[in-house]
Structure 1
């Protein structure tokens, strides 16, 4: 059912359109995230200034904290995932740029030429050292027009206070983000590899877009994006998954899981587990502890080189809840390492298992219902 927008909604939309220039363009820029960023900047700048005061003794001839650190704090606490906000970018970018600025001041006497050269050469130096950081331009400029205090410090200025300021701010940032549950420094998405040690790309990456497509798309935009190619690849694949969940996310894990699950106890031997796997023609066995809770999984790959009486080589289990969308398991069951996802309840008791076969059969059925040619596959679902 389509509901026509009310006059109030239309009026509100009209007002917002007039102020579209004030709409945040950053994805994920929620009010909560911005408030966390404000708190981080408050703590980071105050602590940096306080510690620098203790270290440098509040020297009236030396700035306690340089202005570019304020811009660094914006990046560090408001967009911590940005490549421009990483530790080396902040410390290296500010320090190297300040060093460039001092060097330019030493050899160029014309102020107008000096300020231009300082910023331009700072960009070049940061690019060559992979430490591009926008506040670095301000650090270079400060080294040129900072006045008597900066001139008196000379080549010490890039290190005291610029490098000290930057190091302290990064240290506070790492601690703050850890306490607030954020990831910093940002860990770039890892490029997928074929776990079977062949030249083929992983199965999930043989169709759809690839890295060459991403490079071509970015080149066509003719813009520099504030995100790494690996992160962009991961983001686009997550978008694909979310679209699939929206279109076919009505089926839950409980709908397609195998319920008669073959398991082994934690104290079973390798020979007992191997027998269970071969008798039932399956590849993955959930391992249960003494209270019947999931302790992990074991598979034929791990048991291949084990002696019959050896203890089980237990691996961490891939798990899901019965109410989770079944299509959401697609990335895990196509990564080349996981053959089955164990479905558990809140007490970590096994209620079912979903294998690659189960998910493939579900996708085949879904495709056939849309009129696309697809064969319906069947078979025992536990880790085939």
Structure 2
């Protein structure tokens, strides 16, 4: 009897493996995707009719375009939903389907060959698009209306439908806050073109580690490589936050910040940098909102200090006030400052600044409140000191646990 119940429980557990995992997508995103699909298909169909006119024997929309719409609006970051995937995948599949009908006739065998050949061609052309298999199938089993179109079918309606839907997705996704197309960035080498890994890679796994794992996995993933790497890096940052505790930018930033305004003269700004032995001045407006930042690098660029001849004289010429009212030489901070400037909210965790201060090469980050008013400044040195203190605290906790044991 026990064995019987055990078999039943095992069978129920096996059935549970077929249940889908919970989707971590809120209702706003679901509504956004459904609205895009509805609008995209409607506009694609209407635009196709306007282009072709009242042609009864040519369908305005084909079934596989509905599947393409799910990808373009539901998962726009997927490699399977990118412009070349939908245009190339659907067009190549339609051509293969029509060719199979021409050589093998209309049959289940011809349909199977068409879909398999379409997938092989999409792999080869790097435009894998799942609805392409359905397009090839439609070309073979779509009925007399489709067969009469012959090689017109890949153009009207397949190419026209695909192109119009992709253009609408391009506009809709970007307007609703979803970057599209989601281009990949295959160059994961060091920032300066050297063999050293990027600074962000030195925190944990390297990009090459991910490449090796993906190669061993040897399956198509419905997520781009860059998105996968970003998810792993964010997971690592959450782990760091748990380890170091809630250390915010406001806890470690410098609060007594020396600032400049747009109209501050270069001579005065240079004097502030020298007097306070700092390398950057946030530039604020009258409401203390950050409008830019001026650094030693900005002075060097505008003084043409990349040529070392008469180094000090060029710098003096830059910061010296011009006597001529119509001088082309920059006179105030607002003319040489860097803008827009990257800022951080004061309650942001310091771990979130690691990519900014390492991989993006920033050295100073103005810290602002939720009204975007300047409240402090955080440098690479501040970040290193905070992480060092957090690491010491983690080590002390581990040692005290060992002693108590």
Is the counterpart of residue 241 in structure 1 residue 237 in structure 2?
Answer: yes
Please list the CA deviations of residues 351-374 of structure 1 after superposition, one character each: whole Å capped at 9, or x if unmatched: 11111111111111111112279x
Is the counterpart of residue 339 in structure 1 residue 363 in structure 2?
Answer: yes
Contact in 1 for aligned 2:188/2:207 (Cα 8 Å): no
Partner of 1:155 in structure 2?
151
The Cα shift of 1:44 comes to 1.6
The Cα shift of 1:182 comes to 2.3
Partner of 1:202 in structure 2?
198
Structure 1 CA distance for aligned equivalents of residues 279 and 14 of structure 2: 57
Is the counterpart of residue 314 in structure 1 residue 337 in structure 2?
Answer: yes
Is the counterpart of residue 295 in structure 1 residue 318 in structure 2?
Answer: no
Correspondence 1:124-143 to 2 at 5 A? 124-143=120-139
Partner of 2:68 in structure 1?
72
Structure 1: which 4+ aligned runs deviate by more than 3 Å? 15-22, 28-32, 187-199, 219-222, 269-272
Partner of 2:268 in structure 1?
272
Q: Given the superposition, is the C-alpha separation of residues 290 and 34 from structure 1 closer, same or farther in structure 2, using an over 3 Å criterion?
A: closer
Please list the CA deviations of residues 284-309 of structure 1 after superposition, one character each: whole Å capped at 9, or x if unmatched: 21112355432111111221142224
Q: Which runs of 5+ in 1 are unaligned?
A: 1-14, 374-384
Is the counterpart of residue 261 in structure 1 residue 253 in structure 2?
Answer: no
The Cα shift of 1:152 comes to 1.2
Structure 2 CA distance for aligned equivalents of residues 88 and 326 of structure 1: 39
TM-score normalised according to structure 1 size = 0.84
RMSD: 2.6
Structure 1 CA distance for aligned equivalents of residues 233 and 187 of structure 2: 12
The Cα shift of 1:25 comes to 6.1
Contact in 2 for aligned 1:58/1:64 (Cα 8 Å): no
- Of the structure 1 ranges 298-307 and 359-368, higher mean CA displacement relative to structure 2 is found in 298-307
Partner of 1:171 in structure 2?
167
Contact in 2 for aligned 1:285/1:299 (Cα 8 Å): yes
TM-score normalised according to structure 2 size = 0.80
Q: Which runs of 5+ in 2 are unaligned?
A: 1-11, 304-317, 321-329, 398-405
The Cα shift of 1:241 comes to 1.1
Higher helix share: 2
Please list the CA deviations of residues 164-183 of structure 1 after superposition, one character each: whole Å capped at 9, or x if unmatched: 11112112222322332322
Structure 2 CA distance for aligned equivalents of residues 370 and 210 of structure 1: 24
